[in-house]
Every structure is written in C-alpha cells, then in structure tokens.
Structure 1
Amino acid sequence: MSNNSILLINPNFEPTNSTNLSLLVKIGADTFSYAIVDIEHKLVHAVYDEQECDSGYEKLKERLKTDTYLKLDYKNVKVASHTKNIIFVPQELFNESDVALYTKFFADADSQNVYVQPSLQQNIHTIFSLPQSIEKVIDENWANSTKLQQNAGLVELATKIDTDSIIIDFTVGSFQLSYIRDEKIAFTQSYQFEDVDELTYYILLITTQLSIDTKKTDIKTCGIIHEGDPKWDLLSQYFNKVDLLAVSSDLDTNILDDMPAHYYTSLLSLLQCG
C-alpha cells in the first residue's frame, strides 16, 4: 500500500462469508475508498482509504488488480463515483418522461447510460452519467452493482437537515460542498485546492455569488479536517457555527475507534442509498 493509504480490518473478518456482506466503493477525483459491511449484524468489517491519488478512476483499476477483498463475491455492491455529468432537480421540476432534457447540462458526452437517483424523501432527483471507460470497469467486476454519484450519501444526509446549512466533505486536496437553503439543496459542487489561501478564495466566492448569510448558515463538515486545523479556523472565521458531521447509526464501527468518527461519513452514509 502507498504512504497515503490505510486499511482497517476486523480481526474476526472471514472473507469466505462475503456472500452475506455488502461492499461500498467510493471513487473521488483524487481519492479511493471502500468499506465491507455486515448489514444483518450491523458490523463494519473493513475500511480502505487512499488520499492524494492522481486519479480515483485509475486507482480503482489498480486496486482491482491487487486487492483480493475487492474481488470477493458480495451480496450487494454500491459504487459511488465522481462524475462531471450531474444535475440535481427538485421533485416539483422533475419530468420523468423527459430525462434526456437534463443531459444537455452534462459536461462530457462520453457516456452511454443516464441514471436517475431519487432521494429517500423523494424531494430531489440526482441525474448523472459516468464516463464510458469507468462504467465498463464497474460492470466487468460488479455486474449487478448499484451505481451512485460520489456524494449520494451526503445528499441523503442533506435532505434531513431543516436549517440553512453547508455540508463540506474534505479530502487532503479537495472538497465537496452542498448548500441547503429552505430545506432544499440549492447548490452543490466539487473543488480542488492547493492551500488554505485557495480554499479561502473558493469559500468567499461561493458565499458571495450565492448571497449566503454566513451568520445564519451552519457549517457541517466531515472528511479530512480537525478542530483547530487551518481549514477549521478558516470556516470558524466566517461562520458562526461549525460542527463535525458523523453518521448516526447503530453500526458497530470498533475498527474505526482510533480514527475520527467524521473521517468516513460520506463513505458509510452510502448504506442509506438505494
């Protein structure tokens, strides 16, 4: 494994029992991670996470060649992937009979399938497609997998928030942001940044262009961030309330006890996605 990766394993994990387990895979622009979960017994068996990848897509291909855990036969597999082809449509504006209309806003034409992913509350539909090359890799390895967009889990968490808030999921060199206003996702986007100065630029740009009232908007953040680090201090400088966002569930996550609970919020929240 690389110096930027970590693999946490339950010592009682039996790979031969994989047909009773679920695999969650998350492919970011510059990250790759997965979790192996026993839903019936509410137990997380394994978590793998790698930061600062040149490409999350290429890292998936590399890990499939060397990581035996990814090649096991699972009961079900969910793959949440980074994509430039994505749009969020509120329920009241969604037209099921004309999904092709929304693909006009996609950045890339290199895709064959268009996916419509309604939130559990049915108040927002995520419409997305994946690059043909990465979809082929997913289908060859997990033919019956459920395909999701990268931040599907955070979207589900966002739909449960009843105050104006911004959810920010940090990796080492990027962040995914969703702005909730009037209990709806008003804006979502991903950014890569080199340092706190560049992060400051993006935060100020977003708040200015969207006319966000920083005094009345909460920040809920997860991923690679700590209380008191430069990213935390930056957010605290501009917003009145900054909290860490961890998944609230009855999962046994003992293997993560030595890690901050909010590190894997976006990965484990994929469990609630259909």
Structure 2
Amino acid sequence: MSNNSILLIDPNFDPANSANLSLLVKIGADTFSYVIIDQERKFVHAVYDEQECEDGYEKLKERLKNDTYLNLKYETVKIATHTQNVVYVPQELFNENEIALYTKFFADADSQNIYVQPSLQQNIYTVFSLPYSIEKIVNHNWQQSIKLEQNAGLLELAVQFDKETLIIDFTVGSFQFVYIKNNNIAFNQNYQFEDTEELTYFILLIVNQLNINMKQVAVNVCGIINDGDNKWSLLTQYFDKVEILTLVSDLDTTILDDMPAHYYTSLLALQTCG
C-alpha cells in the first residue's frame, strides 16, 4: 500500500464468509475507498481508504490486481463513482421518458448505459453514466453491482436537515458541496483545489453565486478535515455555524475507534443508497 492509504480489518474477519456481506466502493477523482459490511449483524469488517491518487479510476484497476479483499465474492456490491457525465434534475422537471434531454449535457459520448438515481427525498434525480472503459471493468468484476454517482451518500444524508444547510465532504485535495434550502437540495457539485487559497476562492464563489447568508447557514463538514487545520480555520473564518458531520446509524464501527469518525461519513452512508 502507498503512504497515502490505510486498511483497517476486523481481526475476526473471515473472507470465506464474504458471500453474506456487502461491499461499498467509492471512487473519487483523486481518492479510492471501500468498506465491507455485514448488513445482518450491522457490523463493519473492513475499511480501505487512499487519498491523493492521481486518478481514482486507475487506482481501481490497480487495487483489483493487488487487493484480495476487493476480489472476494459479495452478496451485494455498490459502486459510487465520480463522472463527468452527470446531470442533477429537479423532480418537477424530470421525465423518465425523455432521458435523452439530459444526456445531451454529458461531457463524453461513449456512454453505453444511462443510470437514474433518485434521492430519498425524491426531489432530485441524478442522471449519469460511466466512461465505457470503467463500466466494462466494473461489470466484469461485479456483474450485479448497483451503480451510484459519487455524491449519493451525501444526498441521502441531506434528508435529515430541514433548515438551510451546507454539507461539505473533503478529501485531501477536493470537496463535495451540497446546499439544502427549503427542505430541498438546491445545489450539488464537486471541486478540486491545489491549496487553501484556491479552496477559499471556490467557497466564496459558491456562496456569492447562491447568495448564501454566511451568518445564518449551518455548515456540516466531514471527510478529511480536523478542528484547527487550514480547512477548518477557513470555514470558521467565514461561517458562524460549523459542525462536524458523523453518520448516525446502528452500525458497529469498532474498527474505526482510533480514527476520526467523520472521515468515512459519506462512504458509510452509501449503505442507505440504491
């Protein structure tokens, strides 16, 4: 494993039992992670996370060659991945019979399959496809897998908020941004940044474009951010209400006891998707 990766395994994990377990994989532009869960016992057996990848898709290919846990047979598999081919459609504008209206905004033209992912709130539909080369790899390894867009976990977490709220999920060099207003997801986007200056630029740009009141909006953060670091200092400089967002669930996450609980909030939230 690289210096930017971590693998946490329950010492009692039995790979021979994988056919009764669930695998959740999240592929970002610059990250790759997965979790192995026993859904019946509500138990997390393993978490793998790698930050600062040059390419999340290439990391998937590499891990499939070298990672025995990733190659086990699982009862269910969910793959949440970043893609340039994605459009978020409000419910009132969505028509399942006219999907082609949305795919014309895709960045790539080599898509084979179009996926439509509704949120729990049913107020936004994510229409997306995977690059053909990646979809081919995913289908070869996990024929019955459920495909999700990268932010699927965050969109499900948004259900719990009934006030104006920002959810920001950080990696080392990127962030996923969800804006909830009037009980609806008003904005959802991903950004990569080189340094704190560029991060500041993106945050202030979004706030200005969406006319967000920084004194009133609640900001919930998760992922790679810690109280007192540069990201935290930036947010608390501009926003009055900044809190850490952890997943509220009945999962036994004992193997994560030595890690900040919010690092894997959006990854673990994938269990509620699909």
> Which TM-score band (shorter chain)?
over 0.9
Question: Quick check: 1:94 aligned with 2:94?
Answer: yes
Alignment of 1:9-158 (within 5 A): 9-158=9-158
* Distance across 2 between alignment mates of 1:30 and 1:106: 21
1:160 matched to which residue of 2? 160
Deviates more, 1:4-13 or 1:120-129: 120-129
- Per the normalisation by structure 1, the TM-score is 0.98
Q: Does the 8 Å contact 2:200/2:234 carry over to 1?
A: yes
Asked if the contact 2:123/2:185 (under 8 Å) is kept, the reply is no
Tell me the C-alpha RMSD between the 2 structures.
0.8
In the aligned structure 2, how far is the partner of 1:84 from the partner of 1:214?
29
Task: Tell me the residue number matched to 2:256.
Answer: 256
Q: Distance in 2 between matches of 1:239 and 1:110?
A: 42
TM superposition shift of 1:158: 1.2
Contact 2:170/2:223 (<8 A) preserved:
yes
SS at match of 2:30: coil
Once the 2 structures are TM-superposed, how far is the Cα of residue 60 of structure 1 from its aligned partner?
0.2
Aligned to 2:6, what secondary structure does the other structure show? Answer: strand
Cα deviation code 1:208-246 (max 9, x no counterpart) = 111111112111110000011111111111111001111
Which segment drifts farther, 88-97 or 248-257? 88-97
CA deviation digits over 1:141-178, x for unaligned, max 9?
00000000011010111133111111111001111111
Question: 3-state SS of the aligned residue for 1:187?
Answer: strand
Q: Deviations over 1:163-195 (max 9, x none)?
A: 111111100111111111111111111111111
How far does residue 267 in structure 1 lie from its aligned partner after superposition? 0.5
Whether 2:237 is the aligned partner of 1:266: answer no
Tell me if the contact between 2:34 and 2:48 (Cα under 8 Å) persists in the aligned partners: yes
Where has structure 1 moved over 2 Å in runs of 4 or more? Answer: none
Q: Which amino acid aligns with 1:67?
A: D
Name stretches of at least 5 consecutive residues in structure 1 with no aligned partner.
Answer: none
After TM superposition, the score normalised by the length of structure 2 is 0.98
Count of residues paired in the alignment: 274
Which residue does the alignment assign to 1:242?
242
Tell me the distance in 2 between the aligned counterparts of 1:7 and 1:223: 16
Counterpart Cα distance in 2 of 1:220 and 1:163: 12
- % of aligned pairs identical? 70
